[in-house]
Amino acid sequence: MKRVFNFNAGPSPMPLEVLEAMKEDLTNFKNTGMGITEISHRSKEFQDMLDETKDLLRQLMHLSPDYEIVFIQGGGTMQFLMTGYNFLHTRAAYADTGVWAHKARNTAAFFGETYDANSAQDKDYSYIPDTYDIKDGTDYLYICANNTIYGTEYWKFPEVKVPLICDMSSDILSRDIDFNRFDMIWAGIQKNLGAAGVALAIIKKSLLETARTDIPEFLQYQTFVKKDSTYNTPPVFCIYTLNRMLHWIKNMGGLKAIEERNKVKAALIYDVIDESGGFYRGHAEKDARSRMNITFNLANEAMEKDFVEKAKAHDFIGVKGHRLVGGLRVSLYNAVTPEAAEALSQFMKEYERVNG
Ligand code: PMP
């Protein structure tokens, strides 16, 4: 069986050992004689798996009992809508660090006033602003922890008096941070934690109490909490992949160990960029560099195209930048191995030697 080096930005790789172990569950989950996609979401087997998934999240994130955890279909884009619909009563602040935060703001604008608490647009989203302009009567500040397209990541979170809502889609459980400082964290699982098709939302009870209840039932976070994410048929398989990934993270030694591994991987690539004398030009400012998505450019588009083609010929997949910004992007989510990062760093050095 041939496996390539997969640096896709999401969906993205899962650990081979997890995929291998899933095979058995596809035909016979927990000795039910049914595969995971065949069991009922009202069965004890599903409920046990759901409970365990929430417990694992609580353990790994050291979450206080003040939080509810729910699983919702519709990906990240549904969360742009639900955060605004549920929590925007008067006005909401958004940190403008790029496309995904901006999309969230635009969607929330259907429900009330939205404004940018800051913006990194002036430098092409290459940094994370560290001041916040919060107007009176603001319901929440919304940030995007890791900007998948630009390759920037927060290393210092805002200290503000309003509730803090954070999109962690592209760096959730990649590092050991204080998750209890957020009022809400949500994340699509398709990058660091499993198969595309579900987002997890972790909501502080005090924020949940402020959620609107005069909106369609299915779009209320309260509904998902009250019905334990099974108001309707949940994405059983996606939740199962999340469960498997959480076990894997735990077996790897938890978030501290995962963070160390991710540091090593990112350093391998950033070192090549920094030592290339400008052959590779990193997009993000150094103190805002993402460990998950490394964005950089070559001298011109033709060379970038050539790099992508040569990389592909060597089984390095997914290194093309996002279509909105071009350039190159290497995503190093949890399941990407240090060996894959090492192999790519060698390829980059060789490419520079030949073309530099
Ligand atoms: N937020 C972030 C940080 C993302 O990277 C993405 C998608 N790449 C989204 C939100 C949107 O997620 P989805 O495609 O699941 O709607």
Contact present, 125 and 150 (Cβ < 8 Å): yes
Quick check: ipTM above 0.90?
yes
Instruction: State whether the beta carbon of 53 lies less than 6 angstroms from ligand 1.
Output: no
Model confidence pLDDT, tens digit, residues 71-91: 999 999 999 999 999 999 999
Does the CB atom of residue 167 touch ligand 1 within 6 A?
yes
**CA dist., res. 116 & res. 93, Å (int):** 6
Task: Write out the catalytic residue numbers.
Answer: 100, 167, 191
Determine the pLDDT at residue 189. 98
The structure's pTM equals: 0.98
Ligand 1 atom with the smallest distance to the CA of 75 is: 15
Domains 17-251 and 254-355 fall in the same CATH topology: no
169 CB near ligand 1 (under 6 Å)? yes
Atom 6 of ligand 1, nearest CA residue: 76
Question: Is 155 within any annotated ligand binding site?
Answer: no
> What does pLDDT average to over the chain?
98
Site to probe by mutation for ligand 1, drawn from 169, 238, 242 as the one with most ligand atoms within 8 Å of Cβ, is 169
Name the packing angle between helices 44-61 and 254-274 (round to 10°). 60
**Beta-strand relationship, 184-188 and 164-167:** parallel
Domain locations along the chain:
17-251, 254-355
Ligand 1 centroid to residue 187 C-alpha, Å: 8
Distance 147 CA to ligand 1 centre (A): 9
d(CA 346, ligand 1 centre) in Å: 30
Is the Cβ–Cβ distance between 4 and 317 less than 8 Å?
yes
Q: Spell out a b/e string for 115-153, using b for 16 or more CB atoms within 10 Å of the CB, else e.
A: ebbbbbeeeebbbbbeebebeeebbbbbbbbbbbbbbbb
Instruction: Determine if ligand 1 sits within 6 Å of the CB of residue 12.
Output: no
Residue bearing the CA closest to ligand 1, atom 5:
148
> What are the structure tokens assigned to 286, written together?
């150094």
Check if 32 has its Cβ closer than 6 Å to any atom of ligand 1.
no
Q: Which CATH number fits domain 17-251: 3.40.605.10, 3.30.70.580, 3.40.640.10, 2.20.25.90?
A: 3.40.640.10
Q: Whose CA is nearest to atom 9 of ligand 1?
A: 76
Q: How far is CA 17 from CA 13, 22, 162, 169, 244, in A?
A: 11, 9, 42, 23, 10
- 1 falls in which pLDDT band (50, 70, 90)? confident
* Residue-wise pLDDT tens digits, 194-228: 999 999 999 999 999 999 999 999 999 999 999 99
pLDDT at residue 134 in the model: 98
Is 42 a known ligand-binding residue? yes
Residue 233 has pLDDT above 90, yes or no: yes
pLDDT tens-place string over residues 265-307: 999 999 999 999 999 999 999 999 999 999 999 999 999 999 9
Residue 313's CB is within 10 A of a number of other CB atoms, namely: 8
CATH of domain 254-355: 3.90.1150.10
pLDDT, tens digit, for every residue of 111-147? 999 999 999 999 999 999 999 999 999 999 999 999 9
Is any atom of ligand 1 closer than 6 Å to the C-beta of 241?
no
